[in-house]
Structures are given as structure tokens and as C-alpha cells.
């Protein structure tokens, strides 16, 4: 199996290739090197724990964008049953960068909406690399309103580099589409649970994230600007950046799940399997579904009025300032 390894995983890659080679050599032969293989496997595990126990924010960014990382539709397949995808914003078109529909999680009917990145060049282009147009956000809101009407909880999966910067997107009101989602989600009279599964890229991510409960996967990120964008603004080098610049920017932005939990912006971190979510999609999906079910359990007894009052307060108190009196 050919896997995609990140730069800082090179030592792991070498060992794992060696293990595979040994397995191939020993296959069908009399020589027994299983103890050797076991030793190497143990070493890989140790090495991986070592590397993953002290990931830097930029490394987490790369994991959050890992091409093998599970995306919204993967989780929908793993977590839900009876999923029916619903399409279109009823105004302009259907945006493949956001998917959504009705489904059941553990026999509880829910509405699910999420950013969708593509796998492989063709699908990536089709999904516009998970960068929605205004119609994507309007579809998302339409489905959330549907959830409100039929008193279903809303589950959103956040995973986008950001809302798409293009001519059509501007012409059709990218900013307005996001703003309306923020306002309407704050007023939605049904529970909203959001999970950042990969990249939480600025306003384009937040437009699905005004929730009663907000969780992040252990190696996901959530930021006002990408490390690349931040580096470009701070160190204006005309596109000539090294990963060291991005690393510095990622440090400065404090964009990891752990940072956001310490700021009390999110309600919890969903632990990932060793090596990242893509190493065990079923395992992480099960954890995600547990978090969702617990949150639904907590929220379902609240009246719509209480829900939106608490949601309002949750966001209203976010801010870091002091007040001087003269």
C-alpha cells in the first residue's frame, strides 16, 4: 500500500517500508524473521508516539490538510445510516464544496452539513478544494432551516481552506452569504453541533460554525487566516517563503485545537488515533459519533428559547479586552 507521508514522518516511512520489504521477503519462505519484524513495528510505534507527542502548529496544519484525512462524506458514511444527500440553494446552483442532507446517527434523525474536499485531482477540482461559493453557504442555511422546521439537530463538519476568492463568488455575494449564515445560525431554534475535522479556514469555516457545541479533532486547526496568508502579510517577500516562515506564522496564530480549548473557544477535543485520523478512520468516526450523541443528549431537553439564549451568550462573551475608566 502506498501511503502519503509528511516531511516530518520520513523516518517513520523508512521503517515502515523496511517492514513491508521484510514481510515480502519472508512470505512463503522458510526463514523466520517475524521477531525482527515485531521489533521494527514496536520501534515504529515508539517513533510515531515520540513525533506525534510534540507536533508543532505547522505540522498540525499539514496533518489537518493531509490528502488521506477523512472528509465529511467519509464520516457520513461511517457514522450515519439512511443518508439522503440534498442539493442546491434554490437560487443559483448546487455547490459541491458543501454537502448536506438527512440521515440517522444511532437511530436519531439529524441534518448534516459539511465542507467537502475532493480526493484525487479530478474530484478535488470538482469540489473546488473544499472552497465554497455563496450558493454553498445558502444551501447549508436552507438545510439548517429545514432542521429547524422539523426539530432535528444540526451537525456540521468544518473542513475548508476558506471561502473561494473569485469573481463569481464576489458577484453573487460571498460576504453576504457568510454574514447571513452567522446571523441565522445564532437564531436557529434547534440544536447545532459543529466539529472541525480538518482545516477551519476563517469566515468560510465559521459560516458553518455558530454552534451550541463546538469540538475539534486533535490535529485540526481553526484560524482567522492561514499561516501562508499571515506570513505573506507580515513578511512581504513576494511569494518567496520557506516552510520556516509558515511555521513561525502558525506558531503566532495559535490555531491548534489545544490553543482554542485553552482560550475556551471550543468545548472539547476529540482525540485522534496515533499518526492522525487517516490512520484509523473507523476508530475516529466512532469517537466523533460518541461526542455528537452526548451533545444531542445534553441539548435535546432545552427549549428553543433557552438554546438560542445560551448560544447567544456563548459567543457574546468571546473577546479579550480590558476596560479603563477615567
Partner 1 sequence: MAWFKKTKGIRTDKKGKIPEGLWVKCDSCKEIVYKKEIDKNLKVCPKCNYHFRISARERLKLLVDEGSFVEMDEGIVSVDPLNFKDTISYKDRIKEKQKKSGLKEAAISGDALIKGYPVSLIIMDFSFMGGSMGSVVGEKVSRAAERAVEKKQPLIIVSSSGGARMQEGIFSLMQMAKVAAAIGRLRDNGILYISIMCDPTFGGVTASLATIGDIIIAEPKSLIGFAGARVIEQTIKQPLPDNFQRAEFLLEHGFIDIVVGRKNLKETLAKLFELLL
Q: In the complex, which residues of this chain contact partner 1 (CB under 8 A)?
A: 163-167, 169-176, 178-180, 182-187, 202-203, 206-207, 209-210, 222-225, 230, 233-235, 252-255, 259-260, 263, 265, 311-312, 315-316, 318-326
* Contact by Cβ (8 Å): 53, 218: no
CB of 277 to partner 1, least distance (A): 21
Rank residues 20 and 170 by Cβ distance to partner 1 and give the closer one: 170
Rank residues 103 and 178 by Cβ distance to partner 1 and give the closer one: 178
CB of 148 to partner 1, least distance (A): 14
Rank residues 61 and 80 by Cβ distance to partner 1 and give the closer one: 61
Count of Cβ atoms closer than 10 Å to residue 237 Cβ: 11
Rank residues 228 and 280 by Cβ distance to partner 1 and give the closer one: 228
CB of 193 to partner 1, least distance (A): 15
CB of 31 to partner 1, least distance (A): 55
CB of 168 to partner 1, least distance (A): 9
Rank residues 150 and 312 by Cβ distance to partner 1 and give the closer one: 312
Rank residues 105 and 231 by Cβ distance to partner 1 and give the closer one: 231
Nearest to 100 by CA among 151, 65, 135: 135
* Contact by Cβ (8 Å): 260, 266: yes
Rank residues 80 and 220 by Cβ distance to partner 1 and give the closer one: 220
DSSP class per residue in 106-172:
TTEEEEEEEE---SSHHHHHHTGGG---HHHHHHHHHHHHHHHHTT--EEEEEEES-S--SHHHHHT
Rank residues 83 and 137 by Cβ distance to partner 1 and give the closer one: 137
DSSP class per residue in 241-273:
--HHHHHHHHHHHT-BHHHHHHTT-SSEEEPPP
CB of 185 to partner 1, least distance (A): 8
| Bridge partner residues of 108 (DSSP) | 105
Rank residues 12 and 178 by Cβ distance to partner 1 and give the closer one: 178
d(CA 44, CA 46): 5
| Rounded (10°) angle between helices 72-79 and 281-299 | 80
| Bridge partner residues of 269 (DSSP) | 216
CB of 211 to partner 1, least distance (A): 10
CB of 316 to partner 1, least distance (A): 6
Q: Is residue 103 classed exposed, middle or buried when 0-12, 13-18 and 19+ CB atoms within 10 A define those classes?
A: buried
6-17 burial, b at 16+ Cβ within 10 Å, e below that, comes to: beebeebeebbe
* Contact by Cβ (8 Å): 70, 90: no
| Bridge partner residues of 221 (DSSP) | 199, 256
CB of 18 to partner 1, least distance (A): 41
Count of Cβ atoms closer than 10 Å to residue 96 Cβ: 18
Amino acid at each position: 500500500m502506498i501511503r502519503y507521508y509528511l516531511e516530518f514522518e520520513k523516518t517513520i516511512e523508512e521503517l515502515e517500508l523496511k517492514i513491508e520489504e521484510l514481510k515480502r521477503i519472508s512470505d512463503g519462505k522458510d526463514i523466520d524473521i517475524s521477531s525482527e519484524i515485531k521489533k521494527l513495528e514496536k520501534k515504529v510505534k515508539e517513533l510515531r508516539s515520540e513525533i506525534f507527542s510534540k507536533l508543532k502548529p505547522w505540522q498540525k496544519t499539514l496533518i489537518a490538510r493531509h490528502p488521506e484525512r477523512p472528509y465529511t462524506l467519509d464520516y457520513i458514511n461511517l457514522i450515519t445510516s439512511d443518508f439522503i444527500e440534498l442539493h442546491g440553494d434554490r437560487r443559483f446552483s448546487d455547490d459541491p464544496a458543501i454537502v448536506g442532507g438527512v440521515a440517522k446517527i444511532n437511530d436519531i434523525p439529524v441534518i448534516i452539513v459539511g465542507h467537502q474536499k475532493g480526493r484525487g485531482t479530478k474530484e478535488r477540482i470538482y469540489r473546488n478544494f473544499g472552497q465554497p461559493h455563496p450558493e454553498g453557504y445558502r444551501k447549508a442555511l436552507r438545510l439548517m432551516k429545514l432542521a429547524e422546521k422539523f426539530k432535528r439537530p444540526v451537525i456540521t463538519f468544518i473542513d475548508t481552506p476558506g471561502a473561494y476568492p473569485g469573481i463569481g463568488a464576489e458577484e453573487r455575494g460571498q460576504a453576504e452569504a457568510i454574514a447571513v449564515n452567522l446571523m441565522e445560525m445564532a437564531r436557529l431554534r434547534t440544536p447545532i453541533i459543529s466539529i472541525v475535522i480538518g482545516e477551519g479556514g476563517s469566515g468560510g469555516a465559521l459560516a458553518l460554525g455558530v454552534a451550541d457545541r463546538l469540538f475539534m479533532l486533535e490535529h485540526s486547526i481553526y484560524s482567522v487566516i492561514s499561516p501562508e496568508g499571515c506570513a505573506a502579510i507580515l513578511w512581504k517577500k513576494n511569494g518567496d517563503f520557506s516552510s520556516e516562515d509558515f511555521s513561525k506564522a502558525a506558531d503566532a496564530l495559535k490555531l491548534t485545537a489545544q490553543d482554542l480549548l485553552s482560550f475556551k473557544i471550543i468545548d472539547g477535543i476529540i482525540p485522534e488515533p496515533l499518526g492522525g485520523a487517516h490512520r484509523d478512520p473507523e476508530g475516529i468516526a466512532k469517537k466523533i459519533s460518541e461526542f455528537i450523541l452526548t451533545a444531542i443528549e445534553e441539548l435535546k431537553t432545552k427549549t428553543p428559547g433557552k438554546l438560542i439564549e445560551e448560544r447567544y451568550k456563548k459567543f457574546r462573551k468571546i473577546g479579550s479586552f480590558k476596560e479603563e475608566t477615567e
